[in-house]
Chain A
């Protein structure tokens, strides 16, 4: 695996219109990582990018996406007009130019992964801070620094399959338990009409979503990658506290909500709820009992009363604990049933673009060292995933690497299914049949275009 942190040469955000005159170049740089880089070096980097972006605009109506030099790869992302986010990674190179590229390819972060990193960084920023253009110029530098520095530092980006295909893991659940959750949410929303439940997560798997698909992914990533790991750590450390917390508590803001002072610590987010037409600002309230986590939003314009939160606590606590224990029982049963199915050494990844559902075989999950996927293989999957349009609404590609890896990518109706098979002396038909078999056994009840 490659250590990405070491590979990130720099990450910066600029907007040329912020300092249009000479001598104001530094004003154009909203954020620069690493921050120990001198002002001159910053100016140089940003200047180069500005020039490239501008230059390229004469050739294409679309924005410039990437630039590769002998030692560096630049990825550009323009989330809002004029705002450019740039990620630069170093690529190892040898002086012998002829062989360098072919050999080192596996070592470099895949461009699509880099692009995804930029996109999710922006989306996370937008979730908490709102779009760049709405932030006053005098605040934007400090806000960017406040947000992106810890973000980039904490980003444990590896060339893992879950980074190549960013999705949401849904918890499979029997109907009755699912209805329990939905009815609980309904009851809560009916009893407290100002509150809307936007997500229900069990462990790190999503059960209920009330957001537009894109925002859901961002919130899910925030929960699963940032908030919940910290929370779980706290719970493990405070073993004795755990029993007192059985009935649940608010975990965002971090110190729960006890006094009206705590209400000022509520986090504001910019979200597009599923039944809304435009992104609006809400307070985000997160409640957790046992392994179940619920996120609510409440409009920022609604005056908050500490009494409401106390009664909410008293309402959710017992309900959520009961539901969480029901789910844990169901999960235990389900785990037993699927253990056999997933424990085979088949390697597959499933992704549905419509609801961003992501599922992979046990042999590909994070628990097992992902070294089992070779960077080349990953890179091929990343390419297929990025270029899914070439498959159209349905299709199948089978690629064989020189070291006997067969990678099959299936696309059907917004769904993608990848299978990795290492098999010597296999032929195309055998692989196709095997893929079909895996697809049928793992993806029951789903219609794949027959090949």
Chain B
């Protein structure tokens, strides 16, 4: 199979951020914690006595401070506004308590307090900050949502719900907690929005194969929240376990009832990230990563019990991440010291590095089978920073249209279907009125309008021998999507055809209505000498004034007057102009026109005949008398 390779594209489509955030490595005296809500690493040296350093991707929130060592820390997190620090410690046989320190300008004040959960003998599994001043204690007895009143140094319980869970997973962007109960057979999500706790539809898994904590991730993808579960060895034979699949079970959002099954084809240890609405699955033993796009339409669906199941394969073949470098040394990739956090963090605790994972859009088009180009473009159209890549692919395809005409046609289809879907959505939104809900169907996809395609791709390539074929392919794609051909494309098409002498194709396209009807196009055709086509188009557009002008321009005053009269425009045309043209032509033409101007039209409500009495017409009245006299004699 022929391969396509985007020029100047790189091999690695997943990379780590160039400069990792450095922190003190994990050691017997230093403990490292990560808060995935704020994306911050806490390094606690000697229990905080020799200092706590907080670093994150956002440098303005970095800080360091000291605190007393009151026992081993389990979890330490800032509130989203960085005004309260909450610490969970491991105290044997003590009440389930969380400590709080008020902060001001990222520095601790000496206001400290603590709060004990309502279930006195519960074990706190962890805590999360759904809002700036709201904290939820997640315990093995249930969840308690509290509001923190830092000034009063106390917390007030807002709501609590009982659930017997062993561990939990937290998704900060959607404020959903997933508690695992019944030994990993039952997964119960709770929404902590609106200062309340709402129980969501529970996820029941196969009782025979419960899940463990490291195989479950709560993540946000394509504006929905999903529970990603690794299902190892799904095949029926236990002797040779099949490859691992990732199941995405819908938790909330608009994609309910669809379960996505991602086929990794690999066995071993995995971790997931979410990058630009793509699910990235890292596989440790093969040192590769795969990307899945659940928005792709090519996934094979099948209706299962209770909902639809869509199966996906990786967008492109598995590849390793771009090797990261650290002070002129290659970092070990896929190291066993890595810890992967949602949505896109990777921490190497031994090295003391915090990276963000990102996508290199152009690398998705590096060495791909020719017939997968349209699919890749479709994937790219849904990405954030892919505009440049899509245009580069387009340009490369257009410049090699003799090889890629089929693929190019399909790429146009992808572009136009995205555009059309968006246009329809916009129209629906506009008709619904401005008061309708804000756009929640995700961000605007990458839109390539007809004008964009002309200015950014085609205009600079009018010399290409296959331009006509390319434009035809584009027109046909527009037509398939019932989109009106806009003037830039029509103009480009006409020019391409004319410069290549393909007037026959131009006529055929216009006659069959493939370029649409528009006044500028009609004028262009007129200028090119395709008079018949131009006049037909003007007539279809009801541009009667233009027709009259054109006919006058051809010195056909009688025809012009006829056209004006049949359109009811005779009174608007200058009689002088008509008569002057007729006189220049021939006496019979003049007489016919003169009579026509005097005869009231047959229309039921005759508009007033043009004024012949004015001074300017006197010479023509005189000429008429002269002519009729001649005839009489």
Q: Which residues of A contact B (CB under 8 A)?
A: 173, 175-176, 178-180, 182-183, 186-187, 189-190, 193, 208-211, 274-275, 352, 354-355, 393-394, 413-415, 445-447, 449-451
Contact = CB atoms under 8 A, between A and B. Distances in A.
B562 A449 contact: yes
Given A447-B538, A449-B563, A186 B472 contact: yes
A210 B500 CA distance: 13
B535 A450 contact: no
Contacts of B501: 274-275
Nearest to A211: B504
A175 B563 contact: no
A210 B501 CA distance: 11
Nearest to A208: B508
B435 interface: no
Contact of A190 (B405, B502, B512): B405
Chain B interface size, under 10 / 10 to 19 / 20 to 34 / 35 or more: 35 or more
Q: Which of B500, B501, B508, B538 has the most CB of A within 10 A?
A: B508
Nearest to A212: B504
B343 to A, nearest CB: 42
Interface stretch (B148-156, B186-194, B362-370, B473-481): B473-481
B469 A186 contact: yes
A276 to B, nearest CB: 9
A413 B556 contact: no
B213 interface: no
B614 interface: no
A355 B507 CA distance: 9
Nearest to A429: B602
Given A186-B472, A413-B535, A446-B539, 9 more contacts: A175-B512, A175-B514, A179-B472, A180-B476, A182-B476, A208-B508, A355-B511, A393-B559, A449-B559
19 contacts: A173-B512, A175-B479, A175-B513, A175-B514, A179-B479, A179-B514, A180-B476, A182-B472, A183-B472, A183-B473, A186-B468, A187-B406, A190-B469, A274-B502, A275-B501, A413-B532, A414-B532, A447-B535, A447-B539
Contacts of B417: none
Contacts of B479: 175-176, 179
B402 interface: yes
A34 B468 CA distance: 51
A355 B479 CA distance: 24
A447 B547 contact: yes
A104 to B, nearest CB: 37
A447 B566 CA distance: 12
A443 B500 CA distance: 31
A189 B468 CA distance: 12
Nearest to B409: A183
Interface of B: 401-402, 405-406, 409, 466, 468-469, 472-473, 475-476, 479-480, 500-505, 507-508, 511-514, 531-532, 535-536, 538-540, 547, 556, 559, 562-563, 565-566
Given A179-B514, A186-B469, A450-B563, A445 B504 contact: no
Contacts of A183: 409, 472-473, 476
When A and B form their complex, which 10 residue pairs have the shortest distance between CB atoms, in order from nearest?
A: A179-B476, A447-B539, A450-B566, A450-B562, A186-B469, A447-B535, A274-B504, A275-B501, A447-B536, A175-B479
Given A182-B472, A183-B473, A446 B508 contact: no
B405 A187 contact: yes
A303 B437 CA distance: 67
A355 B539 CA distance: 19
Contacts of A449: 559, 562-563
Nearest to B517: A445
Chain B interface mostly helix, strand, loop or mixed?
helix
Contacts of B469: 186, 189-190
Contacts of A175: 479, 512-514
Nearest to B502: A275
B513 to A, nearest CB: 6
Q: Which of B472, B507, B511 has the most CB of A within 10 A?
A: B511
A377 to B, nearest CB: 28
A334 to B, nearest CB: 13
Given A186-B472, A274-B501, A178 B401 contact: no
Contacts of A414: 532
Contact of A445 (B466, B540, B559, B565): B540
Given A179-B514, A415-B532, A274 B562 contact: no
A445 B537 CA distance: 7
A355 B511 CA distance: 10
A94 B268 CA distance: 108
A193 B401 CA distance: 13
A209 B508 CA distance: 9
A311 to B, nearest CB: 16
A178 B514 contact: yes
A415 B511 CA distance: 14
Contacts of A209: 504, 508
Contacts of A354: 507, 532
Nearest to A207: B508
A186 B405 contact: yes
A165 to B, nearest CB: 18
A432 to B, nearest CB: 11
Contacts of B507: 354-355
Nearest to A273: B504
B506 to A, nearest CB: 10
B481 to A, nearest CB: 10
Nearest to A443: B536
Nearest to B403: A190
B521 to A, nearest CB: 14
Q: Which of A175, A183, A208, A209 has the most CB of B within 10 A?
A: A175
A176 B479 CA distance: 6
A27 to B, nearest CB: 42
Nearest to B511: A355
B191 to A, nearest CB: 47
A274 B503 contact: yes
A393 B402 CA distance: 44
Contacts of B480: 176, 179
Contacts of B531: 413
A194 B502 CA distance: 18
Nearest to A414: B532
Nearest to A394: B559
Q: Which of B401, B406, B469 has the most CB of A within 10 A?
A: B469
A406 to B, nearest CB: 20
